[in-house]
Structures are given as C-alpha cells and as structure tokens.
C-alpha cells in the first residue's frame, strides 16, 4: 500500500487485509469470497447486491468467545439482521441485543430463545414493551424514568421482569460525534453525575415485579482505544459502590455495550479484542476489590465487529464523467443502501473486479445514482484509469449499518443479501421489487 499525501488519495491495489479471510484471487482481476467468484454473484443475482461470508461471521463470533470466555456476548442486531444471521448467532452461542419489536419478533419467530435476548432503546413504544413481555424477553434496559412506571404497569402486580438501567458515564468515545453515546449531551441513558441514574434505580427498587440485575453502559461506536472502556468500568463500579452503600444492593451484571472499532481501509486501526478483554477483566476485578464488591458478570454487545468485515457490496458502474479536476464514477446503488458516507463521512476502499487491466491507477470519486449531491460512496480513491460503464466495483467491510439503515429514496428498491460458504452462494434476503413498493401504496 502506498499513500499519495498531496492528493489525499490512497492506493490500495493488491491489499486484501480488510477483506474476509476466505478472499482469494483465482485469476488476475477477479476476486472470490467463500470460494465463489464475486463477478459470478453479480451475474446471478444482479447488482447492487450484498454478500456475506458465513464462515467469517462465525469465526468472528468464536474470536469473541475465545477472548471473553466468562462473558455473555450479545450480537447487536441493529448492525444487520436477517433470519440466517439469527440462526448463526444461535448456533455460535451468542445472545441478541435488539431495539424494536420488529427485531425481537424476527428473532423469536426464527427460533431464537427469548430469554437470551435483551431489549433496549431510548424511546420504547407500547408495542415494543408489549411484545417483549409477551415473548418473554430476558432483560429490558430502562433508558428513562417514565419507562419504569409504564413497564411495571404492563408487567402487572403478579408478574416479573428482569431489567437493567442504562447509565451515562460522561465519557466521549467513538469515530464521529453522531455515534458517541457515553457523553452527557445526547439522548441515551441516565446520567451518573447529576443523580438521575441513582434516582431511577431507587424507583425501580420500589417495584417488586421488576428485578434489577445490573447496569448498562454503551459509549458509542467505532471505538479503537481500550482506554474509554477502562474509564467506564471505573465510573460504573463507583456507582455500584454507592448503590451498595445506600441500598445494600449488589448487582450481579455489568453490560459494557459494544462499539468495537474495525478497519474499513487497509492501514486503519481496529480495536484489539485480546487487549480489551485482558485489561477490562483486570480493571473490573481491581475496581470491585477496592469497593468491597463481588465482580459482576460482564456482558458485551458487538455488532459491527462481527458483521461488518464479513460483508461486501457489489455495484455496476453506470457512468464515468470527468468534470473539472475530478472524475466521477457513478454506480447503480448509493445512499439508499449505504447512508454512512453521507451521515458520518466514512471512507471505503472500493476495488475493480471481474476483468484484468494493466491501466495506471487514477483518482476518482465513486458516487451513487440518487438525486442528492451528498450521495458519495467513496471520495478520492484510486481505481484503474480505464474504468468504464459495465464494470463491477466491490466494496469490502459492508456488512454492518448498510442495509440495516437502508431507505426507500427514489424508490429504487433495497438490494438483496446473499451468503457464500464452501463454494456455494445462496439468497438470504431477496431484492425489493417495484411490486413490493406498489403493494404498500394503498390509496389514490
């Protein structure tokens, strides 16, 4: 890999470090993942299309289990969810972290045990809570004081529900201000510093049908340093010590959330899971010993770090346009299937696949097909100078927060999701068709 600093363009030819481990180059100019050529997938299923490497997903689950052997690991469903993903998580021994009745019902109707599911969210609807109670969800994370009375009433005087409280430790961490949730000035959780968390916990203790099992703390997303997690452990254990002194309360669980950062382009930093596990375990043991508390069972919620690197997005080039000093390469997808560049300014490393070329690499900006100037998928990247309409582009690290955040903009329809494994490709989620779109439009 070489970097051209004066043009802010990165050359990534030949570097497959952010691709799934199964990625191979069976012939020059082509790539195969899970034993299946990506160009074959594009021809068979059309484009845009998303590809998930099942073996990569499963291996990442096992990496977490190995790094955190005594920890409850919940896959954060918001990263990406479908029935196959739910099935894989079940088989790999992970729980689920969901934030809506839709995610919850899809999981349970797929056969996932409800008691291994945690429901959270800053504004749970009556349907969310009713569904959680009806299906017997394992825990509900309380995010605001108003939820306490609503949940207690829904449970009823003779019912029982395990709950946690999401607390805000006042720590800034994450790859962008829009995905930092551990600070005071954002919508999630109850502040430790101003006493709102303690007040809510006291109210929960007055509701005999609610069993408080622990505290929940999620700092944000795309965090690549261990330090914020250690600071969070210290502050949350400090709160646990105060609760023990005030109420004699000993909480058996501590959920540190997720947000584990991954590399989207070669050379970028990712969170070291082995170091995270070792240092968090040590910090938690020392903080609890100093406070005279037993060590609670740790819970973590990885999502992006499991799904993201296992996914690839495939696009067909529709147009190449040279305007001023820029070359724009327009593809048949865009912000309707991946809004992250527009929301967070994230950077990707797209790659030309499906044909061999000896052309020099040149700076381009890969844009989507939507009627929005901000519909940019990859700004200032290098592709072969002879890129042309009909070419295929593959975008690695596309498994998380792409389709889960997809929209109906311009009514182009959401792409399908395929899975590859052992030389076979299969459809997981079909393409959204015009008939699907029409069927929802019921009035004139």
Active site residues: 371
Phi, psi of 270 (to 5 degrees): -125, 160
Can you tell me the distance from the alpha carbon of 232 to that of 214, in angstroms, rounded to the nearest whole number?
A: 14
Q: How far apart are CA 156 and CA 142, in angstroms?
A: 17
Terminal-residue alpha carbon distance, the chain: 56
b/e code 277-291 from CB counts within 10 Å (16+ = b): bebbbebbeebbeee
CB 115 within 8 A of CB 74: no
**Cα–chain center distance at 202:** 32
Residue with token string 């955190």: 68
Mapping DSSP onto H, E and C, the string for the chain reads CEEEHHHCEEECCCCCCCCCCCCECCCCCCCEECCEEHHHHHHHHCCCEEEEEHHHHHHHHHHHHHHCCCCEEEEEHHHCCCHHHHHHHHHCCCEEEECCHHHHHHHHHCCCCHHHEEECCCCCCHHHHHHHHHHCCCEEEECCHHHHHHHHHHHCCCCCEEEEEEEECCCCCCCCHHHECCCCCCCCCEECCCCHHHHHHHHHHCCCCEEEEEEECCCECCECCCHHHHHHHHHHHHHHHHHHHHHCCCCCEEECCCCECCCCCCCCCCCCHHHHHHHHHHHHHHHHHHHCCCCCEEEECCCHHHHHHHEEEEEEEEEEEEECCEEEEEECCCCCCCCHHHHHCCCCCCEEECCCCCCCEEEEEEECCCCCCCCEEEEEEEEECCCCCCCEEEEECCCCCCHHHCCCHHHCCCCCEEEEECCEEEEEECCCCHHHHHHHCCCC
Asked whether 141 and 74 are in contact (CB, 8 A), the reply is: no
Q: How far apart are CA 86 and CA 107, in angstroms?
A: 6
């Amino acid at each position: 890999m070489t970097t051209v600093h004066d043009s802010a363009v990165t050359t990534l030819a030949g570097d497959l470090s952010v691709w799934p481990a199964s990625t191979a180059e069976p012939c020059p100019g082509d790539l195969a993942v899970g034993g299946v050529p990506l160009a074959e997938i594009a021809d068979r299923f059309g484009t845009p299309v998303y590809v998930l490497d099942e073996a990569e997903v499963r291996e990442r689950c096992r990496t977490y289990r190995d790094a955190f052997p005594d920890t409850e690991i919940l896959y954060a469903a918001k990263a990406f969810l479908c029935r196959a993903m739910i099935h894989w998580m079940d088989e790999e021994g992970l729980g689920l972290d969901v934030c809506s009745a839709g995610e919850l019902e899809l999981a349970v109707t797929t056969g996932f045990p409800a008691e291994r599911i945690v429901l959270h969210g800053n504004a749970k609807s009556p349907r969310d809570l009713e569904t959680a109670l009806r299906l017997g969800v394992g825990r509900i994370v309380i995010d605001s004081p108003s939820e306490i009375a609503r949940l207690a009433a829904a449970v009823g005087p003779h019912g029982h529900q395990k709950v946690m409280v999401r607390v805000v430790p006042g720590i800034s961490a994450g790859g962008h201000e829009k995905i930092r949730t551990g600070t005071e000035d954002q919508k999630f959780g109850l502040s430790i510093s101003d006493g709102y968390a303690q007040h809510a916990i006291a109210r929960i203790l007055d509701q005999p049908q609610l069993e408080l099992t622990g505290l929940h703390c999620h700092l944000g997303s795309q965090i690549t340093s261990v330090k914020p997690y250690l600071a969070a452990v210290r502050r949350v254990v400090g709160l646990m010590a105060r609760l023990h002194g005030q109420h004699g309360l000993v909480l058996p669980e501590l959920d540190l959330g997720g947000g584990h950062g991954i590399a989207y382009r070669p050379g970028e930093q990712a969170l070291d899971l082995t170091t995270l596990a070792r240092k968090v375990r040590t910090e938690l043991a020392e903080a609890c010993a100093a406070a005279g508390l037993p060590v609670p069972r740790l819970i973590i919620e990885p999502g992006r770090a499991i799904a993201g690197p296992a996914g690839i997005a495939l696009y067909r080039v529709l147009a190449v346009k040279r305007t001023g000093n820029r070359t724009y390469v327009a593809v048949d997808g865009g912000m309707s299937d991946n809004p992250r560049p527009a929301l967070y300014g994230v950077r990707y490393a797209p790659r030309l696949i499906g044909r061999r070329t000896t052309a020099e690499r040149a700076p381009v900006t890969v844009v989507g097909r939507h009627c929005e100037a901000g519909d940019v998928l990859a700004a200032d990247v290098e592709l072969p100078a002879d890129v042309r309409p009909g070419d295929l582009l593959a975008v690695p690290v596309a498994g998380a927060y792409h389709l889960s955040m997809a929209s109906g903009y311009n009514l182009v329809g959401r792409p399908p999701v395929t899975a590859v494994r052992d030389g076979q490709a299969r459809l997981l989620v079909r393409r959204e068709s015009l008939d699907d779109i029409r069927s929802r439009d019921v009035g004139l």
